[in-house]
Amino acid sequence: MEVVKRLKALLKEISVINSSVSLMHWDQRTYMPSKGAETRAEALGYLSALSFRKLISPEMGELLETLSSKNDSTSLSDLEAALVRVVKHDYEKAKAIPPELYQKFVITSSKSQTAWEKAKKENDFASFSPYLEEILKLLREMVEFYGYEEDPYDALLDNYEPGMTTSKLEHIVSELKPKLISLIENLSAHAPIDDSFLKGKFSKHAQKKLSMEALKCIGYDFNAGRLDETIHPFTITIGTGDVRVTTEYKLSEFIASLYGTIHEGGHALYEQGISPELKWTLLDSGASMGIHESQSRMMENIIGRSYEFLSFFYPKIQRAFPKTLKDVPLESFYRAVNKVKPSYVRIEADEVTYNLHIMLRFELEKALINRELEVKDLPDAWNAKMNEYFGIVPPSDSLGVLQDVHWAGGMIGYFPSYMLGNLYAVQFFNSALQEIPELKKEIAAGKLSTLREWLKEKIHKHGRIYKPEELCKRATGEELSPRYFIDYVEDKFRRIYGL
């Protein structure tokens, strides 16, 4: 159909601009000199606004109206119908926001990220506070334009997890929280696991080499990406055939960089596995951030911290750091990397305590959006919840409220995706185990290709064709359920701790 061709041509224009924006974001957080921040913010604001205006243009509106009409919609293929549905959703949401407000938001969030990096390094929340206040002000304005039925926070959740609501999240939390707290209490009563050998001196060169080896092992295509260093690890898609990952190296320990790399590699496998047929359309990305996180958390934890994977990969780790690990048995290393202990930093949290970090952030950002909490009181509120959930208080804001880049980037509503990702990951892996009886043996042999192809067929290749809940049902036969995650962590960690 001619009208479909016109829609795809317009979407390609938008995608090309977005590709340039992504490349600039990647450079901003890897190699850009600090004095370039002001200019970069303006450039990002201009290009993002240009993309935004094309998305909400009269031409886009006319094309979508034509394709959504009864006569034309019945002649669309399933793929074309999905394309129209997704683009129409994005169009209507974007159309609600005045372009000048969106441009202001992009510029503010870009400047805010630069301010956050400095504030984190200097442990100076006060210097970052005005930026966060401005971001919240802009987001509240945007929420009113978006509209919502029950809670203002719902409008922001929809940006990252279509179909998810505050009430649904609260129901999941109510089922998950008591089980996790009970398990943590039981594990805490057990003798602590020795992980002292995970601290020491680990060269950046060796860590980078090991991270590269881990990415190769899980199947990351280096001909379609690269690994770089940053202050806060991320994955970014520049376009089809260019999906980049980053990590952070700490000379005193290597676990964060190794598993951070595997985590980002899981994101990248998703993007690299999207069908080329979806290139230059708004379908060529993940179904939601929760589904995206399921792929990274699966690779990082369900695979990367499993006994099966380590039985294959641990010798490579020992060769990377022979002075420290040559006499440490596999069993000891396995237990050490799965140690459960309350921690200050979310990205370093174990599988059992991690979701509590997300619940904390969910509650705080919901309160911020609903004006139940002021920015100036945020550090104290953060520390109070850390004490309530974990029994510890961060010694600095850099290890507390300033540790994540998300709020600086205006990504309020994003954090719940991490928790949902954990739940999706276990449910997906459980289905893969049922369909691939020899899967654990293959992983122990270093063969992840069967699992990777299963994920590609069930999840990756579809991009945004299906909504998250529909994709979950197609892959597992069920709606998302916390019980799979609860059963997984209880079984795994009771075994590790001998309960």
- Structural domain contains residue 174: yes
Predicted confidence (pLDDT) per residue in 315-329, tens digit: 999 999 999 999 999
Locate 127 and state its tokens. 């210097």
Residues 174 and 121 in one domain: no
36, containing H or E segment:
none
Residues 89 and 181 in one domain: no
Residues 301 and 450 in one domain: yes
- Structural domain contains residue 466: yes
- Structural domain contains residue 160: no
The CATH number of residue 130's host domain is: 1.20.58
Q: In DSSP terms, which residues pair with 242 in a beta bridge?
A: 239
Q: 245: helix, coil or strand?
A: strand
Residues 16 and 140 in one domain: yes
Calpha distance 62→68 (Å, rounded): 10
Residues 285 and 382 in one domain: yes
- Structural domain contains residue 152: no
Predicted confidence (pLDDT) per residue in 235-263, tens digit: 999 999 999 999 999 999 999 999 999 99
The answer on pLDDT for 187 being more than 80 is yes
* % of the chain at pLDDT higher than 70: 99
* 342-352: average pLDDT: 92
Q: How confident is the model at residue 99 (pLDDT cuts 50, 70, 90)?
A: confident
Residues 336 and 439 in one domain: yes
Calpha distance 313→297 (Å, rounded): 18
The answer on pLDDT for 231 being more than 90 is no
257: amino acid identity, one letter = S
- Structural domain contains residue 269: yes
Q: How confident is the model at residue 73 (pLDDT cuts 50, 70, 90)?
A: low
Q: What is the pLDDT of residue 72?
A: 64
Question: Smallest Cα–Cα separation from 116: which of 375, 414, 415, 407?
Answer: 407
Domain that holds residue 15: 2-147
Q: 75: helix, coil or strand?
A: coil
* % of the chain at pLDDT higher than 90: 93
Residues 180 and 304 in one domain: yes
Residues 361 and 329 in one domain: yes
| Number of domains into which the chain is organized | 2
Residues 334 and 380 in one domain: yes
Residues 229 and 98 in one domain: no
Predicted confidence (pLDDT) per residue in 439-489, tens digit: 999 999 999 999 999 999 999 999 999 999 999 999 999 999 999 999 999
Calpha distance 403→346 (Å, rounded): 8
Predicted confidence (pLDDT) per residue in 407-434, tens digit: 999 999 999 999 999 999 999 999 999 9
The CATH number of residue 208's host domain is: 1.10.1370.30
| pTM metric for this prediction | 0.92
φ, ψ dihedrals at 403, nearest 5°? -70, -25
∠ CA(444), CA(449), CA(450), 5° rounding? Answer: 85
- Structural domain contains residue 157: no
Residues 194 and 139 in one domain: no
Calpha distance 402→112 (Å, rounded): 12
> Which residues are annotated as catalytic?
264
Residues 272 and 225 in one domain: yes
